[in-house]
Amino acid sequence: DAMVIQNPRYQVTQFGKPVTLSCSQTLNHNVMYWYQQKSSQAPKLLFHYYDKDFNNEADTPDNFQSRRPNTSFCFLDIRSPGLGDAAMYLCATSRVQGYQPQHFGDGTRLSIL
Amino acid sequence: AQKVTQAQTEISVVEKEDVTLDCVYETRDTTYYLFWYKQPPSGELVFLIRRNSFDEQNEISGRYSWNFQKSTSSFNFTITASQVVDSAVYFCALSEKDQFYFGTGTSLTVIP
């Protein structure tokens, strides 16, 4: 089945230790998104790629970076995780940007020790 | 200003009861889309429905139905004969051009 796959499902890292979350898709969608979702809150968009074009949200901290080496894969790098970065990270894709439903992966729950 | 308002933070119903989740949106665009997503405890966001601003017909899918009223800027979601598996957080969302806005979600608990 075509889908959005996020690895790992759970990630534990130490305060200040870089961590990378991965997302892959078999939908061949042009747009890939990264969201941060904290407990009892709506998902918050961090950034997205439209093909190779990277679009950062204005309030996304510099600590968060992303890479999209090809259509299928997208990575979220957190350079120096702080306690406030503990959250669920959701990857989503859409065929094009705007008006299209976004298809989400299962998420990676990040814990910071 | 909040683009999508889900005033009900938490709802509890007893199994087999009907429940309606409210969603009110704000936009000046004439073309926009509305969505509902379900987020079960496992965490993934599951797409349920998309409706464009030109189609006000209500939609029914099994036990789910959606009532779109432009006059009140509302896109409400009703679950008929609720089941325990319906327990989840439900998000309403609005898409304007290339922007996507989530509401704050309604947590639904169905009690057996």
pLDDT value, residue B1:
65
Stretch B101-110: mean pLDDT: 96
Note if the bond before A18 is cis, omega within 30 degrees: no
Whether residues B45 and A97 touch (CB distance < 8 A) is answered with no
Asked if the C-beta of B102 comes within 8 angstroms of chain A's C-beta atoms, the answer is yes
What average pLDDT does range B96-102 have in this prediction?
Answer: 86
Report the pLDDT averaged over residues A33-39: 95
**A92 interfacial to chain B (CB closer than 8 Å):** yes
Q: Is the pLDDT of residue A28 over 80?
A: yes
Q: Is B104 on the interface with A (CB under 8 A)?
A: yes
Q: What is the pLDDT of residue B64?
A: 96
- Picking from A89, A71, A83, A92, the residue whose alpha carbon sits closest to that of residue A20 is A89
Q: Is A5 on the interface with B (CB under 8 A)?
A: no
Q: Which residue has the tokens 């139905």?
A: B65
Q: What is the mean pLDDT of chain A?
A: 94
Q: How far is A60 from chain B (nearest CA, A)?
A: 16
Interchain contact, A41 vs B43, CB within 8 Å: no
pLDDT of residue A2: 61
Highest-scoring range by mean pLDDT, A72-76, A94-98, B97-101: A72-76
Average pLDDT score over residue span B7-16: 97
Among the partner residues B31, B97, B104, nearest to A42 by beta-carbon distance: B104
Distance of residue B49 Cα from the nearest chain A Cα, in angstroms: 8
pLDDT digits over B32-89, tens only? Answer: 999 999 999 888 899 999 999 998 888 889 999 999 999 999 999 999 999 999 999 9
- The pLDDT value recorded for residue A27 is 93
Provide the pLDDT for residue A16. Answer: 95
3-state class (DSSP) for residue A83 = helix
pLDDT at residue B59, rounded to an integer: 86
Per-residue model confidence (pLDDT) at position A100: 85
The beta-strand segments (E) located in chain B are 4-5, 10-14, 19-21, 24-25, 33-39, 46-52, 59-61, 64-69, 74-79, 88-96, 99-102, 106-111
> Taking a contact as any Cβ pair under 8 Å apart, which residues of chain A between 44 and 83 contact chain B?
45
The secondary structure element, H or E, covering residue A88 is: strand A87-94
pLDDT(A20) > 80: yes
Q: Give percent above pLDDT 90 in chain A.
A: 89
Query: Are B91 and A107 in contact (CB < 8 Å)?
Result: no
